[in-house]
Structure formats: C-alpha cells, structure tokens
C-alpha cells in the first residue's frame, strides 16, 4: 500500500518571530542597526533640537506661532502632501493590480516601467515637467494648436504643477507596497468569492481590496512622509504661493542663515509628521481580522 506524501503547502506569508532566536543573539543582530541609528539619527536630532532652543524659544518657536506665514506654509504643505498621497494611491492601485495579475513577461515589462523612473534622478524628472508645462512647452503648444486656448496658459509654478510632478515622482512608492501585498493574497480567496456568488466587481471590492489594505496603508504612509518633506520638485516647478516647508527651511539655512529658526522649523515638521503617522496607524487598528493575518 502506498502512502502518498503530503504535498508541501505554501503558507500565508508571515514574518518569522524573533522568539526563534535566543535573546542575546537577537541583541547582537540588531546592535549595528541601533548603533547607526544612535550616531546617525538620534544624536543629530538631539543637536537639532538644542540648536532650535539656543536663541531662546521665544525667538524661534514663539516666532513660528506669532507670524501667520509659517502656519500657512505648514498647512499648504500638509494639503499638498495629502493630495499627492491620494493621487498616488488612486493612480497606483490599478497599476499594482495589473502587475499582480499579468503573466510573466507582461508583468516584467510593467514592473520595469514602474522601476526605471524610480532609478532616474528626481532632478531630471522634475526638469522634464518644466519642459512639458512651461509657457511654450509641449502642452501649451498642443492646446494652442488645437485651438483650445488663445494664448499660453500658466501651468508651471502653480500648486497643480507641484502636485502633478510630485505624484509622478512618488508613484512607485505607492505601487510597490500594494503590488507586494496583492501578490501575496492567494488566488483561492478570489475563487472562493466567485464560487460563493460574487461577480468580478463585488469580489474585488469585498475581498481583494480589503485584503490589500495593509499595502495601501504602507504606500500611503510612505508617500505622505516623503511628500511632506519634499524639496527639489516643489522648488523647481512650484511658485511662491505653493511653498513647502522644506523650501522654507532651505531658505532659512542657505539664504537667511538663521540656523536656530531653521532648526525649529525642522523640529516642528518632524513632530507633525510623526504625529500624523502615529494617528494614522492608530486609526488602522480597527480591523482585528486584518491585524491578526498580517
């Protein structure tokens, strides 16, 4: 009599628990990371905070509160970052879904299309938008040639241009986490949904989408944090009214040489970023089912 070998079943991906190592080994393994973090991040951060207080809190933090300009810039930075994040998720999700569903060669091609811009300098990609959006650029030429507008319209140096260019730059950061989660969702869930009577649209919205939310959240946090501190792109394609926090800090350090105030601005930006990320994560722990799976 034959005893068929049980087939090895692939498990739902799950991070290996730290408990599989002895505590001492774990500490040795993370020690280099802790050292780098302490020297390269915590120490400079501490110096930054001290610097922001060196001229007296009233001159830096007080000024931040007193002059409405800074609150305006901060608010507009957050609005821009939220818009960019939203655009990245909305545009990135279908791409991630296509990448996860396509067959080998097509998937490789799509992945290349997503990754190659990522490997290209942000500077080059920002300049590319200048070429496209400027007064006598490609888009204005097309609009005029089609008779849609009389003269060139102002596209460059606007809030819209900033959001457009930043979305382009940050799109891969939304696509890749969503893609990796979608790839890990077993096909059986979609099949199960179909066999239980859910059509394609319902199966997507009730099963695929909720199961991919951790990827969406990861992508959203990544995009938001990067967007909030973005420097090059808004500086190149944005106008004075679309100034971001990073540009403001840059101005303080390089033009006005007010280092304590720049340090205060940086500290506030960091604190707000952390606050929003923590709040976001907290609000995500609503779904017990998801947190027990991922």
Q: Is 182 an interacting residue with respect to other proteins (CB under 8 A)?
A: no
Closest to other proteins by CB, 218 or 248: 218
Query: Which span (39-47, 142-150, 159-167, 188-196) binds other proteins, by CB under 8 A?
Result: 188-196
Closest to other proteins by CB, 210 or 229: 210
Q: Is 203 an interacting residue with respect to other proteins (CB under 8 A)?
A: yes
Q: Is 216 an interacting residue with respect to other proteins (CB under 8 A)?
A: no
| CB of 85 closer than 8 Å to CB of 220 | yes
Structure tokens at 179: 């893609």
The sign of the dihedral angle between the CA atoms of 66, 45, 271, 273 is: positive
Structure tokens at 289: 């089912």
Q: Which of 46, 75, 196, 275 binds other proteins (CB under 8 A)?
A: 196
Query: Which span (68-76, 141-149, 194-202, 218-226) binds other proteins, by CB under 8 A?
Result: 194-202
Binders in 8-27 for other proteins, by CB under 8 A: 9
Torsion of Cα atoms, 183 then 186 then 190 then 191, to 10°: 140
Q: Is 7 an interacting residue with respect to other proteins (CB under 8 A)?
A: yes
Q: What angle do CA 175, 178, 180 make, to 5 degrees?
A: 105
Q: Is 181 an interacting residue with respect to other proteins (CB under 8 A)?
A: no
Binding residues for other proteins, total number by CB under 8 A: 30
| Closest alpha carbon to 190 in 180, 175, 201 | 201
What are the residues whose beta carbons fall under 8 Å from the beta carbon of 259, sequence distance 6 or more?
51, 252, 253
Closest to other proteins by CB, 136 or 187: 187
Q: Is 199 an interacting residue with respect to other proteins (CB under 8 A)?
A: yes
Closest to other proteins by CB, 63 or 194: 194
Q: Which of 197, 240, 257, 286 binds other proteins (CB under 8 A)?
A: 197
Query: Which span (22-30, 160-168, 204-212, 276-284) binds other proteins, by CB under 8 A?
Result: 204-212
Q: Is 195 an interacting residue with respect to other proteins (CB under 8 A)?
A: yes
Query: Which span (42-50, 68-76, 207-215, 222-230) binds other proteins, by CB under 8 A?
Result: 207-215
Write out the residues near other proteins by the rule CB under 8 A.
Answer: 1-2, 4, 6-7, 9, 186, 188-189, 191-199, 202-203, 206-207, 210-211, 287-290, 292-293
């Amino acid at each position: 009599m034959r005893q068929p070998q049980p087939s090895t079943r692939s498990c739902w991906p799950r991070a290996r628990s730290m408990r599989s190592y002895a505590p001492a080994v774990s500490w040795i393994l993370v020690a280099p990371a802790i050292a780098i973090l302490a020297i390269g991040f915590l120490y400079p951060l501490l110096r930054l905070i001290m610097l922001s207080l060196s001229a007296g809190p009233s001159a830096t933090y007080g000024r931040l509160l007193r002059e409405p300009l800074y609150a305006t810039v901060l608010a507009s930075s957050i609005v821009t970052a939220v818009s960019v994040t939203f655009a990245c998720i909305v545009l990135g999700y279908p791409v991630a879904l296509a990448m996860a569903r396509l067959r080998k060669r097509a998937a490789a091609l799509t992945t290349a299309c997503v990754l190659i811009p990522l490997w290209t300098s942000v500077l080059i990609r920002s300049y590319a938008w200048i070429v496209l959006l400027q007064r006598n650029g490609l888009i204005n030429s097309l609009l005029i040639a089609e008779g849609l507008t009389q003269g060139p319209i102002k596209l460059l140096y606007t809030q819209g241009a900033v959001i457009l260019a930043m979305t382009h730059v940050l799109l891969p950061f939304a696509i890749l986490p969503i893609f990796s989660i979608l790839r890990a969702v077993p096909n059986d869930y979609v099949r199960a949904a179909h066999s239980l009577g859910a059509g394609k649209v319902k199966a997507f919205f009730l099963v695929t989408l909720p199961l991919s939310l951790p990827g969406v959240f990861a992508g959203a946090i990544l995009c938001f944090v990067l967007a909030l501190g973005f420097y090059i792109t808004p500086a190149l394609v944005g106008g004075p009214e679309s100034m971001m926090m990073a540009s403001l800090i840059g101005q303080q350090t390089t033009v006005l040489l007010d280092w304590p105030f720049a340090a205060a601005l940086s500290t506030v930006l960091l604190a707000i970023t952390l606050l929003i990320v923590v709040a976001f994560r907290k609000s995500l722990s609503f779904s017990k089912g998801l947190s027990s799976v991922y």
